[in-house]
Amino acid sequence: MVKVRRVRKLIGLILAGIIFAGFVFHTALNIYAGQRVKEEIKIIQAKGEPVRFKDVVGPSVPDEQNAATIYQKVFALLDANKDELDKVREITWGSDISQWTEEQKEEIPTILAKHDKVFKLLHEASLKPECDFKRDYNEAPGIVPSHFSPLRTCFRLLYVKSTLEKEKGEIEEAVSTVLDAFAAARAVRSDRLMISSLTRIACDAMALKNLQELLTDKEISLESYRTLHEALKEERGIHIIDLYDDRCYGISVWDRILQKKINIYQIRFPELPARFYESLNEQPPHLSPTEKLVKTVTYWYLGSYLRLPLLKLDYVCYLRMMSEAIEVTKKPYWQINKADVFSEERIPKTAFFSRHELPSLARCLLQEARLDATFGTAELAIALRMYRKKNGNYPGLLKELVPDIVRELPLDPFTGKDYLYRQEGNGFVVYSLGDNKKDDGGRGDEPQRWQGDFDIVWRFDK
């Protein structure tokens, strides 16, 4: 019995020693990781780069220059007439009138005419130089701002209005409406969140598609072409995806994770149902066996205090890779090696959140490059129409547009070279080589070529 007690005592001492050594190691690693985070933040600040949204948000915009004050009036009208305007929102995104129901064909024109004040205000807002909804960036990151949804509604209303104007042959008016839609898309991006940037990219792409359909076999005046060309050139010059902004957002998220103000499970496993996050201390009976297993693993591994040092090292990885990416993306898109930007192979397997979040940013940059290419083709297409207005025919080569029509030609963001162009029948096609940097003959995006084996095309029938 004495020997047994001695063995138990020895085992207890060994276990206590292991626990104590583990505690010391964990504490030392936690302090070390925390110091690394502070050092990375200091490196960013030493470069004069922002680490908080307050560092990038400029001075308040005066009301007389601020489109947001007018958009707020529009939002009030949308709320007051929600039932009627919701019928316009039911129109399938991107559909033409032939796809509307007979009831929609009868009701929609009447509804839009009745609420003409909405469109007058939207046009007035488009003429303002700035748009600032004065968001409070101290609120929890990721919260979608209140103006986000009504701005998307405004964009849909403008799309439907331009479709009706095209049907009535009011092409000049329809083009003006598309320009108002570009302004609404810019306003969506005003809050600096990545979701807003991606929504703006989607809205711009839809507006460009609408513009191509409007003008493929229709003409507007030379002066209207000039105005449209300048607007497209200005839109193409705007940098939508801003990694400085996204890093500020990431820093605010990481800080809140470490302060336990954000449920880290919802960031790591956003695809799980909401009921998964009801309680971390219970196992509700309605959870499936898989959900229970994932919950147990994430609670004890990701969520416990033991995970804190690795979370901080993950944070260090995030800061370093974001800083590297910011430097890389200062170059034109065609000079960027995709392996240099958020490659998953470069992210340690222990950096769970960085591996989950960072690779998606490379896809965001690709979406902006595709939009840039579409704007370039649109800009050239309008310049070609201007050339024909002045000379009676389309040029044989794009370089003939310089310098009488344009001062310089835009470059394909995927190759850094001129866009490709050829005449087709009474019209033409101008296109970018797209993701694969190969000439696919001017074939546009189709569902079966979702991997990027297509060109980014602008085609006018005449």
In a domain? residue 270: no
Q: Which residues span the domain enclosing 31?
A: 1-48
**Residue 97 to residue 29: CA distance in whole angstroms:** 64
**Residue 419 to residue 137: CA distance in whole angstroms:** 41
With residues binned 3-state (H G I as helix, E B as strand, rest as coil), the percentages for the chain, rounded to 5, are: 65, 5, 30
Total tally of structural domains belonging to the chain: 1
**Contact present, 132 and 190 (Cβ < 8 Å):** yes
In a domain? residue 13: yes
In a domain? residue 422: no
In a domain? residue 124: no
**Residue 216 to residue 459: CA distance in whole angstroms:** 7
Within 10 Å of residue 423's Cβ, how many Cβ atoms? 13
Torsion of Cα atoms, 228 then 234 then 238 then 240, to 10°: -10
In a domain? residue 218: no
What's the pTM value of the predicted model, to 2 decimals? 0.85
In a domain? residue 3: yes
Res 272: pLDDT:
43
In a domain? residue 436: no
**CA 22 distance to own-chain centroid:** 44
> How confident is residue 427, by pLDDT bands cut at 50, 70 and 90?
very high
The more confident residue out of 108 and 290 is: 108
Residue listed under structure tokens 């940037």: 197
Instruction: Read off the tokens for 20.
Output: 């104590």
Tell me the per-residue pLDDT of 64-106, one tens digit each, with 9 for 90 and over. Answer: 999 999 999 999 999 999 888 888 888 877 777 888 888 888 8
**Residue 145 to residue 165: CA distance in whole angstroms:** 32
Whether the predicted pLDDT of 147 surpasses 90: no
Tell me the per-residue pLDDT of 283-318, one tens digit each, with 9 for 90 and over. Answer: 455 556 666 666 555 554 555 566 788 889 999 999
Q: What is the DSSP string of 261-299?
A: -S-HHHHH-TTS-GGGGS-SS---TTS-HHHHHHHHHII
Instruction: Read off the tokens for 40.
Output: 């990375």
In a domain? residue 9: yes
Tell me the per-residue pLDDT of 22-38, one tens digit each, with 9 for 90 and over. Answer: 778 878 888 888 899 99
